[in-house]
Amino acid sequence: MSEILPENSVAPSPQDPAELGLAAYKAGKPDSDNPYPLESREHTDWQTGWEMAMMCYASGNQA
């Protein structure tokens, strides 16, 4: 069954920078491994994914 998304939302693709940032954190990579140019939107999205993973999965924050 497909996921129902709110109006005007887009499902993340496997290459979504935020998803890649989350995966990088879970793989133990530092945030300095961000592959996107500093001034790009993708850089910010990757960083956001990495930081959200850090907040969710860092020691003491796991459910």
Domain ranges of the chain: 14-30+38-63
Q: What is the pLDDT of residue 59?
A: 75
Confidence (pLDDT) at 31: 93
- Position 11 scores a pLDDT of 62
- Determine the pLDDT at residue 49: 96
Three-class SS of residue 26?
helix
Low-confidence ranges of the chain (pLDDT < 70): 1-14, 61-63
pLDDT score for 30: 95
CA-to-CA dists, residue 9 to 3, 12, 48, 61, angstroms: 12, 9, 18, 28
**How far apart are alpha carbons 45 and 60 in whole angstroms?**
25
